[in-house]
Amino acid sequence: MIKVDDIDFYYGSSQILYNVSLNAEDNEITCLMGSNGVGKTSLLKFLSGIYPVNKGNYYFDGSDVTNTNSYTLAKKGIGYVPQGRLIFPLLSVKENLETGFACLDKEEHFIPDKIFELFPVLKQMIGRRGGDLSGGQQQQLAIARALISKPKMLLMDEPTEGIQPNIIQQIGEVIKYLKSDQGMTIFLVEQYFDFAFDLADHIYVMKRGRIIKDVRKDSLNKSDFKKEISI
């Protein structure tokens, strides 16, 4: 679904990513692990069209989309759940969801029932302001907003950060459903090892802006791998 070849990224004069290459296969969950500040979020912002890179190529669904803007990538089928959720605090839950209509044709401007099946709390709070929701509820809203755009590929940046355990479990079940029942491809950036490992088909590990591990999960022993990468 996505292929990244040898990209470099600079923020001002500081180089953040070094010769990063990776693949996310169709209908799989690819996980990128690593500690804070190693470049994971910068990579996702590039994949979602927020940041341009200085070198390298990015292919999505067979097409070269290097340094394509976010709107065009969303139209092509890339959804993005950013770190920190970034919902609109003064808009209602319904209005937040409706911002996902931006890249859809007019006849598709409706909230599918499936959204409320996956996240029942959003139906209960449809008229509440986004800023009045708990952190876990805001995370559910951020995921639902991304799903409104009907993505083929969903990029998720630290969806468990600051979230209570029962919501983490629910988010994990939603991710499994999106893969198994909807055929969606997921690219997950995550530091919570058990959550990431249990979901992943393929794992990359990043350190200081470089990919240092590229492995299939089924080739790994969980406890040995956890000790090895020390996340």
Give pLDDT tens digits for 35-94: 888 999 999 999 999 999 999 999 999 999 999 999 999 999 999 999 888 899 999 999
Residue 228: band (very low, low, confident or very high) from pLDDT cuts 50, 70, 90:
confident
Give pLDDT tens digits for 22-37: 999 999 999 999 888 8
**pTM score:** 0.92
- For all residues of the chain together, what is the average pLDDT? 93
SS (H, E, C) the chain: CEEEEEEEEEECCEEEEEEEEEEECCCCEEEEECCCCCCHHHHHHHHCCCCCCCEEEEEECCEECCCCCHHHHHHHCEEEECCCCCCCCCCEHHHHHHHHHHHCCHHHCCCCHHHHHHCHHHHHCCCCEHHHCCHHHHHHHHHHHHHHCCCCEEEEECCCCCCCHHHHHHHHHHHHHHHHCCCCEEEEECCCHHHHHHHCCEEEEEECCEEEEEEEHHHCCHHHHHHHHCC
Which CATH number does the domain 2-90+150-229 belong to among 3.90.230.10, 3.40.50.11740, 1.10.1760.20, 3.40.50.300? 3.40.50.300
